[in-house]
Structure 1
Amino acid sequence: MKTTSIVLLAALCLPAGLPTAQGQPTKKATKTPPKAKATTHAAMASSTKASAPLAALFDTYWEDRAKLFPLGATSQGDYRYNDQLPNDQTQAFRQQQQRFYQQYLASLQKFDRAKLSADDQVSYDIFKYEMDTRLEGLKLNTWMMPFAQFYSLPNTLGQLGAGTGAQPFKTVKDYDDWLARVGQFPVWADSAIGNFRQGMRAGVVLPRVLVLKMVPQLQAQVTADATKSLFYGPITRMPASFSEADKTRLAAAYQQAILTQLVPTYRKLADFLQTEYLPKARTTTGLADIPGGPQMYRYDVRLMTTTDRTPEAIYQTGLSEVKRIRAEMEAVKKQVGFKGDLPAFFTYLNSDPKFTPYKTPEDVLNAFRAIQAKITPNLPKLFGHAPKSPFEIRQTEAFRAATASAEYNRGTPDGSRPGIFYVPILDATKFNITSGMESLFAHEAIPGHHYQLSLQQENTALPKFRRFASYPAFSEGWALYCESLGPELGLYTDPYQKIGALGDEIHRAIRLVVDVGMHAKGMTREQAIKYMMDNEPISEQGATAEIERYMAMPGQALAYKTGALKLRELRARYEKQLGKKFDLRAFHDEVLAGGSMPLAVLERKMDAWAAHQK
């Protein structure tokens, strides 16, 4: 089996790094002629003057953004708008976003970038990129496909309402906030159906195979017994401090909300998709097959890679990487003495009982805890800074496990909610140790997403829009890069964990081929599944789930390899430039210091860091 995943994000802006000042070398003091010293002071004064109003702009933006996107605020631990669920499916809301981003872009452009400090220039560049990218995205008709099996407000509400996610259920107000929030779900759903219908008329529709996965997700929330609903979970865990009157009132209110608002809405969405939308859904695979699809895909590629690389160039990189990694897999196959070809080796890895030793979900979770214990002594060799945020390993909730990948959910900046590494375990007896457990942990947990996201949001020196930003090419690129640190962390000493790590790496290379192939080169879903199974040890079920994810989220799968290759390129560049002065701990700290950002901004920042090291 293959378990790889995505970080749960609210919009595009979520978590990453630590203080930009940390990891920056202190320049050796030198004597400065009087005239030069005066110039330096003037420049510093200018920079200070400019940065205060710029900081105020960023603060105001973040406050306004929280009001506009309250679900994002909740995920970041800002609970002021927990009772709100804006109807983001309306034209009016899209126009409101357009005015919002245009206003802040215009305000930013009043600043003279050249007069800003180096840190503020980085913030300026990231902010401008964000505004430009958002405005460009609003020109596309992606709103005609409101959700799919992998990005879905109905699924997000299930996670929040179960009481184990970002929505808090600690006070009576928390409970009332949730009632108010879900009370707005029926109107959202009606608007989403309206958008789906506009898409049907325009031919901008989802693939049929995805709709078939969406219907059961919605039907799972339909029940005649409110106490059996996952949305009743918070009631079963009400704090003992609540008064009996509040307990009675809330229990009744939750049952009513479940039976009169939530269940009817989930049923309506499921019935609409099943009876009205499914017959109009397309049998084709890629975005190129819908009106405006090629433009949508080019935008998705830019959005997810934060580069101007063409789909064709990315495709060719994928082919090259697949070839390279296959050669490494052949070497491991030879090392363990397997006599057949690579596909036969994959079959062996997927079918031999010795690779599925677990009996219970707890066995699987304990195996991941053992990996954490193995790498812990080696982390100080690679990092000067470690996050303060707590960390937990949990089994993915049953209601979403069938369609979930392993994933990391970030904690809150104050540590009240830990960072959580979720592992879907449908059947522990089939959980395969050759699936790349060590590389998966390095990617999703430590030092991958947990370090990157926790250090970023713990860094109060960053403007909030940077503390909670997430650019997939950076965050997923970092996590994939962390897989390559396995040998330095004490991992992959077992050849079967090594083949698992290579399986994970080739998986990301395959994504470059199949994502571009499906959305820009006419590759079918079936051809993509076959290509994946021919080149990595993955079951047909696993390959199908992965390919359908790329169908639902075009371009997202390109971020991983694109970002990791850039980080490897930068590391090799500075190792060559700096020689013995290159400090790997300082390099890692500096990469994480500014948080998630577009790759071009990162490269400029890191080049400046390397110049200082000299």
Structure 2
Amino acid sequence: MKKLFLTGLVAATLATACNQNKSTESAAGNGGAHGKADDLPTLFANYWEVQSRLDPMSATSQGDNRFNHLLPNDQTRAFRDTLRTVYQDYLNRINQFDREKLSENDKVSYDIFKYEMQERLAGLQLNTWMLPVNQFWGLPLTLGQYGSGEGTQPFKTVQDYDNWLGRVRGFTVWADSAIGNMRRGMQAGVVLPRALVVKMIPQMEELVVSDAAKSLFYGPINRFPKDFSVADRKRLSSAYQEAILTQLVPSYKKLGDFLKNEYLPKARASSGISAVPGGEQIYKYYVHNWTTTDKTPAEIHQTGLAEVARIRGEMEKVKAEVGFQGDLKAFFASLNSNPKLYPYKTPKEVLDAFHTIQAKIDPNLKKMFGRTPKTPFEIRQTEAFRAASASAEYNQGSPDGSRPGIFYIPIVDATKFNITSGMESLFLHEAIPGHHYQISLQQENQDLPKFRRFAWYGAMGEGWALYSETLGKELGLYTDPYQRMGALGDEMLRAVRLVVDTGLHSKNMTREQAIAYVMENQAMSEAEATSAIERYMAIPGQALSYKIGALKIQELRRRYEKQLGSKFSLSSFHDELLKDGVMPLAVLEKKMDDWAARQ
């Protein structure tokens, strides 16, 4: 899963953004009713400038370091009103262009931009602002990744260190506002499930320390660049100690105490978002937003049931191949209890195993991709403070290559890391050629406007990553039946998600029923199944994007193989698919059909 940073901005910068917005009004709209095509890049550039000011933490992750001292307070009504004004303004502007007069690439940009503005405006109509954080996503977790000194926030110069102190000040304001919004949610009945709140409390408590030097946020002080003067080191050490003990620790303590004492008693017993006021509408929006299709929850549920049945058939074949006597459920249990499938003793051994997978696929990648990223790539263990509730994930590198793309593996206990957990398929998905290839190639493409270079559509992005898992055999993996079973388990997970996500949020399926369904269909421990289901409870609809997107990419590949015959090149297909970045699936299909016609 690609790690997403959902952020906003403090009030002072809102004024700057609005002024910037007004100063560019003539840039795209004065070309008359149809707009001039050469004004389109200006429109996109102006929009991106405004968006970067409104979301400075995302700007940091994209290598734009101008706003590294700012931290969002996206918890105010004024902020949401500003977003609404900006998105409506830019929707009006894009509508002034005559699409038919644009170049092919500009038509794709036009379609994506219009879709994006409409989608963002629709999202602002929901009452999800009352749910600002969960155990999986949210600023309190993201802040730890930025401030550890090993993440996205740069700590190379004295100015970098001072910039971070600005973000710390912003967090205290954000935390108070978020608590206010959650209190509004308590009054309105828009609250998180109790099971999720229980997981959030220790996350906050983990960051409450009495000794600043033991804080995660002291990491940058432990890693001062060698060229820092003694005076700077002394000043910054003192400033960071003060910031940790007087701002960060009190804010995390306040959040933890609020969650435990006020919020938990009011949290809901239900599992799905449909249980809150407006929940049915919220879920419909999330399904559309994450799949970029008009498929209904009921349609997706049926697709999931069909895929689960198909993959179970493939699992039966592996079970027969290894000579296991008994049903699939017994086979799953044997995979979880067989000591031979738990070969690791240390986190380093787990990380080394992933490096071995990388080396194995490298020779075959060259046959399947004509275009590969320049961005460096690293494999790292997930930080301890969030490892217990984290999934493996990919954090994008910076476009200039100064920060690598990072594949994070949570390893709470290396001795419990099972090789049938789909290590090979996991690497293909999160790392290479999955998220690392797709995101890096997109960011590196200077021919795309920035709103496309740094875009994210889960259906295509996660769809590509899941499709990448199907390339394992062609890349020289899946030779071992247990790794193949792991890959089928990963595919089954994405099929099961279609059933349980729609079940939880539109069919009144309970958390316990969903956990049981997961365990019935794959080799997952109860703890793993619980963590998975609680993730889907926290972020409705996100889990649908993988399978819906992968099925579309597989459909397109089969279509062109049949249509083009000997003229079909898999390398060319992959290059064309990735070169223009992520986009809604309907836009992708039109683009790929045009490519096939040119072949």
- The match for 1:8 is 3
8 Å CA contact 1:12–1:470 kept in 2: the answer is no
The offset of 1:360, in angstroms, is 1.0
1:331 pairs with 2:326: no
8 Å CA contact 2:60–2:68 kept in 1: the answer is yes
Distance in 2, matches of 1:243 and 1:201, equals: 53
TM (normalized to structure 1)? 0.93
The CA deviation string for residues 517-549 of structure 1, in whole angstroms up to 9 with x for no partner, is: 000001000000000000000110000000000
- The match for 2:69 is 83
- The match for 2:539 is 553
The CA deviation string for residues 253-292 of structure 1, in whole angstroms up to 9 with x for no partner, is: 0000001000000000110110011111000000111100
Q: How does 1:81-230 map to 2 (within 5 A)?
A: 81-230=67-216
Q: Percent identity?
A: 68
8 Å CA contact 2:396–2:404 kept in 1: the answer is yes
Decide which of 510, 513, 521 is 2:496's aligned counterpart.
Answer: 510
- The match for 2:26 is none
8 Å CA contact 2:7–2:74 kept in 1: the answer is no
The CA deviation string for residues 49-83 of structure 1, in whole angstroms up to 9 with x for no partner, is: 94421001101111111000001101111110000
TM (normalized to structure 2)? 0.95
Q: How much is the aligned-residue C-alpha RMSD, in angstroms?
A: 1.0
8 Å CA contact 1:50–1:116 kept in 2: the answer is no
The offset of 1:359, in angstroms, is 1.3
Distance in 2, matches of 1:68 and 1:132, equals: 18
Distance in 2, matches of 1:195 and 1:313, equals: 34
Q: Tell which deviates more after alignment, 184-193 or 550-559.
A: 184-193
The CA deviation string for residues 320-350 of structure 1, in whole angstroms up to 9 with x for no partner, is: 0000000000000000100111011001111
Distance in 2, matches of 1:81 and 1:552, equals: 29
Count of residues in Structure 1 that have an aligned counterpart in Structure 2: 573
Distance in 1, matches of 2:166 and 2:155, equals: 13
8 Å CA contact 1:83–1:177 kept in 2: the answer is yes
- The match for 1:18 is none
Distance in 2, matches of 1:185 and 1:441, equals: 34
8 Å CA contact 2:5–2:142 kept in 1: the answer is no
Decide which of 587, 590, 600 is 2:576's aligned counterpart.
Answer: 590
1:255 pairs with 2:241: yes
The offset of 1:178, in angstroms, is 0.3
Which secondary structure does the structure 1 equivalent of 2:378 belong to?
strand
Paired AA for residue 593 in structure 2: D
8 Å CA contact 2:308–2:496 kept in 1: the answer is yes
8 Å CA contact 2:37–2:101 kept in 1: the answer is no
- The match for 1:496 is 482
1:370 pairs with 2:365: no
Paired AA for residue 145 in structure 1: L
8 Å CA contact 1:478–1:567 kept in 2: the answer is yes
The offset of 1:107, in angstroms, is 1.0
Q: How does 1:189-338 map to 2 (within 5 A)?
A: 189-338=175-324
Paired AA for residue 359 in structure 1: K
- The match for 2:430 is 444
8 Å CA contact 2:7–2:72 kept in 1: the answer is no
Q: How does 1:523-542 map to 2 (within 5 A)?
A: 523-542=509-528
Q: 1:555 to 1:8 in 2, by over 3 A?
A: same
8 Å CA contact 1:105–1:131 kept in 2: the answer is yes
Paired AA for residue 589 in structure 2: E
The offset of 1:300, in angstroms, is 0.3
Distance in 1, matches of 2:241 and 2:485, equals: 50
Distance in 2, matches of 1:189 and 1:422, equals: 27
Which secondary structure does the structure 1 equivalent of 2:242 belong to?
helix
Distance in 2, matches of 1:10 and 1:544, equals: 24
Distance in 2, matches of 1:356 and 1:130, equals: 45
Distance in 1, matches of 2:263 and 2:416, equals: 35
The offset of 1:12, in angstroms, is 10
Which secondary structure does the structure 2 equivalent of 1:388 belong to?
coil
Distance in 2, matches of 1:270 and 1:399, equals: 15
Paired AA for residue 152 in structure 2: A
The CA deviation string for residues 20-63 of structure 1, in whole angstroms up to 9 with x for no partner, is: xxxxxxxxxxxxxxxxxxxxxxxxxxxxx944210011011111
The offset of 1:10, in angstroms, is 2.9
Which secondary structure does the structure 2 equivalent of 1:488 belong to?
coil
- The match for 1:35 is none
The offset of 1:135, in angstroms, is 0.1
- The match for 1:54 is 40
Paired AA for residue 8 in structure 1: K
The offset of 1:11, in angstroms, is 3.8
Unaligned 5+ segments in structure 2 are 9-34
Distance in 1, matches of 2:449 and 2:5, equals: 18
1:612 pairs with 2:572: no
Which secondary structure does the structure 2 equivalent of 1:184 belong to?
helix
With a CA cutoff of 8 Å and minimum separation of 6, indicate the structure with the bigger relative contact order.
1
The offset of 1:9, in angstroms, is 1.8
Paired AA for residue 521 in structure 1: K
The CA deviation string for residues 475-531 of structure 1, in whole angstroms up to 9 with x for no partner, is: 000000000011110110110010000000000000000000000001000000000
- The match for 1:471 is 457
The CA deviation string for residues 86-138 of structure 1, in whole angstroms up to 9 with x for no partner, is: 21000000000000101111111111001000000000000000000000000
- The match for 1:353 is 339
8 Å CA contact 1:208–1:278 kept in 2: the answer is yes
Distance in 2, matches of 1:313 and 1:287, equals: 18
8 Å CA contact 2:429–2:435 kept in 1: the answer is yes
Which secondary structure does the structure 2 equivalent of 1:325 belong to?
helix
1:63 pairs with 2:49: yes
8 Å CA contact 2:505–2:540 kept in 1: the answer is yes
Distance in 1, matches of 2:38 and 2:228, equals: 45
Distance in 2, matches of 1:57 and 1:379, equals: 38
1:566 pairs with 2:561: no
Unaligned 5+ segments in structure 1 are 1-5, 14-48
Decide which of 387, 393, 404 is 1:401's aligned counterpart.
Answer: 387
8 Å CA contact 2:7–2:139 kept in 1: the answer is no
Distance in 2, matches of 1:87 and 1:410, equals: 24
Which secondary structure does the structure 2 equivalent of 1:499 belong to?
helix
Distance in 2, matches of 1:488 and 1:189, equals: 49
Paired AA for residue 489 in structure 2: G
Paired AA for residue 142 in structure 1: T
The offset of 1:151, in angstroms, is 1.0
The offset of 1:381, in angstroms, is 1.2
